[in-house]
Amino acid sequence: MNDPILIIGAGLSGLAAAQTLHTLGEPVVVVEKSRGPGGRMSTRREQLGEHAVSFDHGAQFLRAHDPGFRQVMDAWERDRWIAPWRGQFVRIEGDTLVAEEGRLRYAPGPGMNRICQEYADRLKEHVQYQTRIAELREEGGRVIASTEDGTTVGAFRAAICTAPGPQTAQLLEGFRPSLATAAASTTYAPCLAAMAAFAERPNVEWCAASIKNGPLSFVAEDNARPGHQQPLGPSRWILHASSTWSTEHIQEDPEVFAPLMLEAFGQLPGVKDLDQPVHLRGHRWRFALVEKTTTDSTAKVEGTPPVAIAGDWCEGPRVEAAWCSGVRAASAIRKALT
Ligand SMILES: Cc1cc2nc3c(=O)[nH]c(=O)nc-3n(C[C@H](O)[C@H](O)[C@H](O)COP(=O)(O)OP(=O)(O)OC[C@H]3O[C@@H](n4cnc5c(N)ncnc54)[C@H](O)[C@@H]3O)c2cc1C
């Protein structure tokens, strides 16, 4: 059997690349530094007393702009991985609250990581967690990947790197210089997230709000998401801070910024007499939303053995872009190998 193709990262772009290659009969190995799949589409699990609950603290929903991705979403909907997220969505600007109608959002259920988990389950033992690739080099016509302590992960026929742009730039520096330069040109806005759980549903008129001009940019009721209801458990809410506020507070500890975000939640229109939460946790997404992508979305491959880059930072700040770039990188690598 051929040596496998290495994919760095088990976020959606890496898993879309791996799934595409796997379906074509190519052996793959996906290496992920975290304990599970999903990346920025992950789901945090917590035990709150007797209740096992989850929080979708990263990406919130999906939309399709590209007809090809629309078809992919249709298939996910048929398989019941995603469903329309119905409920009272509002836009808030200052004290003004406007109901949003006619904009259909889809969300995976029971958690945001459903899609990545499904793909990872299909790839089974070909996904290796808790392994951070720290170095790539070439030896005997193969890509050799190793971790920080020098352990070799394997020898590969080709590689696709989906770590965020700045991290990909470091990995590929001196190894695939033109890809490293493309990756280094990307920029991101951070996003601070707070996960709050209340004993009872707070008095909130809506289930999700997009907010302009304030500390928060988005608030959503996690229990109201499709396939997500945990009716006996506490009422769970996700708060996302705006890019400006996140940049100003990124150095603070979660114990400092999460209560400030909760206070801002309590002051939004349509929210009355917010009780103290039974659980409040903060999370820093340093590379959250792509502000500047690489210069074009053509899948780039460099060198022999071939290496490609993929990720939302190649195409745009959303789930759809991550998926499309992963599939494009997989096709480009396959072409380079034939
Ligand atoms: C707070 C927030 C809200 C968002 N909301 C939305 C939304 O509502 N709708 C939407 O469409 N998009 C949203 N996004 C963006 C969306 O989450 C991303 O576009 C998408 O998930 C990116 O997928 P990816 O595979 O490109 O990257 P990632 O999900 O970041 O995956 C990269 C993976 O690589 C791993 N990795 C990195 N370095 C290494 C290494 N050296 N070795 C091994 N593994 C490594 C990481 O752990 C990670 O799992 C949001 C993002 C955030 C943070």
For residue 313, give the ligand 1 atom closest to its CA.
26
Tokens coding 226 = 């499709």
For residue 191, give the ligand 1 atom closest to its CA.
1
Q: Domain spanning 1-33+131-185+294-338 has what CATH number?
A: 3.50.50.60
Q: Which of these ranges, 167-176, 216-225, 295-304, 319-328, has the smallest mean pLDDT?
A: 295-304
Q: How far apart are CA 338 and CA 333, in angstroms?
A: 9
First CA to last CA distance, the chain: 15
Q: Is the dihedral of CA 270, 289, 319, 146 positive or negative?
A: negative
Helix (H) or strand (E) holding 12: helix 12-23
Q: Per-residue pLDDT tens for 281-301?
A: 999 999 999 999 997 767 789
Band (229; pLDDT cuts 50, 70, 90): low
Q: How far apart are CA 53 and CA 117, in angstroms?
A: 17
Contact 327, 22 (CB under 8 A): no
Residue 295, pLDDT score: 73
Q: What is the dihedral angle through the alpha carbons of 65, 66, 69, 74, rounded to the nearest 10 degrees?
A: 60
Residue nearest to atom 13 of ligand 1 (CA): 59
The alpha carbon of 325 and the centre of ligand 1 are apart by a number of angstroms equal to: 13
Q: Per-residue pLDDT tens for 300-322?
A: 899 999 999 999 999 999 999 99
Q: Domain spanning 50-60+79-111+187-292 has what CATH number?
A: 3.90.660.10
Q: How far apart are CA 124 and CA 114, in angstroms?
A: 15
Q: Over pLDDT 90: what percentage of the chain?
A: 88
Residue 221, pLDDT score: 95
Residue of 20, 33, 40, 143 to mutate, ligand 1, most atoms within 8 A of C-beta: 40
* Strand ranges inside 152-300, DSSP E: 152-156, 158-161, 187-198, 203-204, 208-212, 216-221, 235-241, 271-272, 279-292
Residue 299, pLDDT score: 76
Contact 228, 220 (CB under 8 A): no
Band (2; pLDDT cuts 50, 70, 90): confident
Give the angle subtended at the CA of 237 by the CAs of 232 and 238, to the nearest 5°. 140
In 3D space, the residue among 194, 291, 199, 297 whose CA is nearest the CA of residue 240 turns out to be 194
The alpha carbon of 290 and the centre of ligand 1 are apart by a number of angstroms equal to: 10
The CA distances from residue 3 to 28, 142, 144, 172, 337, in Å, are: 8, 9, 11, 21, 12
Residue 234, pLDDT score: 92
The CA distances from residue 63 to 74, 101, 103, 214, in Å, are: 11, 15, 10, 25
Q: Per-residue pLDDT tens for 115-128?
A: 999 999 999 999 99
Return the domain boundaries, the chain: 1-33+131-185+294-338, 50-60+79-111+187-292
Residue 230, pLDDT score: 58
Close Cβ partners of 191 (under 8 Å, ≥ 6 residues apart): 217, 240, 241, 243, 246, 285, 288, 289
**How many CA atoms within 13 Å lie on the side-chain side of 257?**
25
Tokens coding 157 = 């026929």
Residue nearest to atom 49 of ligand 1 (CA): 39
Q: How far apart are CA 28 and CA 236, in angstroms?
A: 37
Residue 232, pLDDT score: 67
Mean per-residue pLDDT over the chain, rounded: 95
String of DSSP letters for 120-164: HHHHGGGEE-S--EEEEEEETTEEEEEETT--EEEEESEEEE-S-
For ligand 1, is residue 324 a contact (CB within 6 Å)?
no
The alpha carbon of 91 and the centre of ligand 1 are apart by a number of angstroms equal to: 25
Q: Per-residue pLDDT tens for 77-104?
A: 999 999 999 889 999 999 999 999 878 8
Residue of 162, 195, 218, 240 to mutate, ligand 1, most atoms within 8 A of C-beta: 162
Residue 231, pLDDT score: 61
pLDDT at 141 over 80: yes
Q: How far apart are CA 106 and CA 118, in angstroms?
A: 17
Secondary structure, 3-state, 37-98: CCHHHCCEEEEECCEEEEECCCCCCECCCCHHHHHHHHHHHHCCCEEECCCCEEEEECCEEE
Q: Per-residue pLDDT tens for 243-289?
A: 999 999 999 999 999 999 999 999 999 999 999 999 999 999 999 99
For ligand 1, is residue 34 a contact (CB within 6 Å)?
yes
Give the burial string for 106-136 (b: 16+ CB within 10 Å, else e).
bbbbebbbbbbbbbbeebeebbeeebebbeb
Residue 1, pLDDT score: 63
Contact 254, 243 (CB under 8 A): no
Q: Which of these ranges, 51-60, 112-121, 227-236, 285-294, has the smallest mean pLDDT?
A: 227-236
Contact 188, 294 (CB under 8 A): no
